[in-house]
């Protein structure tokens, strides 16, 4: 099977198949006399595995681990489950971040009348301090650098 056919069969683009090979995620494919890459069913199955893992959001780095477990017939399913759980947790974290953004924006947008007038709480918020904070604006003073005796946080 040529790379194009393997791509169609696996859902991974030819470009990415070559890339995965170059990074060592998949072993170097066999070649015909003229240099064309050749793929077997087994290799296509591995590509499908990769594709599916990507669809679930796994970074290639993690897919490397998943593939290793996949091939390892004496694996512990606990290791697989751990990887999955980490991925779930990562997704959860990102979802929460985005939900927070969305909610903030939603509040702002709800408060914006959205007509021809220029007054806009969205811009007002963006233009104000971080998180509608204190009037600390006065602190960004004129002089260049205070001695700054100690600075724990940042």
Partner DNA sequence: CTTGACCTTACCATCATGGGAAGGACTATC
Partner DNA sequence: GATAGTCCTTCCCATGATGGTAAGGTCAAG
Q: Which of 75, 95, 143, 149 binds DNA (CB under 7 A)?
A: 143
Q: Which of 18, 48, 87, 120 binds DNA (CB under 7 A)?
A: 18
Q: Which of 14, 51, 60, 65 binds its own copies (CB under 8 A)?
A: 51
How many angstroms separate the CA atoms of 89 and 87, rounded?
Answer: 5
How many angstroms separate the CA atoms of 79 and 60, rounded?
Answer: 17
CA torsion 133-135-140-143 (nearest 10°) is -150
How many angstroms separate the CA atoms of 63 and 53, rounded?
Answer: 7
38 binds its own copies (CB under 8 A): no
Rank residues 23 and 82 by Cβ distance to its own copies and give the closer one: 82
* Interface residues toward DNA, by CB under 7 A: 2-5, 13-16, 18-19, 32-37, 54, 59-61, 143-145, 147, 151, 154
């Amino acid at each position: 099977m040529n790379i194009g056919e393997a791509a169609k069969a696996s859902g991974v683009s030819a470009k990415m198949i070559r890339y995965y090979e170059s990074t060592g995620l998949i072993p170097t494919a066999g070649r015909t006399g003229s240099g064309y890459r050749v793929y077997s069913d087994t290799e296509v199955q591995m590509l499908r595995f990769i594709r599916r893992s990507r669809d679930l959001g796994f970074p290639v780095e993690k897919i490397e681990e998943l593939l290793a477990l996949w091939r390892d017939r004496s694996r512990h399913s606990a290791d697989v489950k751990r990887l999955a759980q980490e991925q779930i947790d990562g997704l959860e974290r990102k979802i929460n971040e985005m939900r927070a953004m969305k909610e903030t924006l939603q509040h702002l947008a709800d408060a914006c009348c959205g007509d021809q007038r220029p007054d806009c709480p969205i811009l007002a918020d963006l233009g104000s301090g971080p998180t509608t904070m204190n009037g600390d604006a006065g602190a960004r003073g004129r002089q260049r650098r205070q001695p700054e005796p100690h600075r724990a946080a940042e």
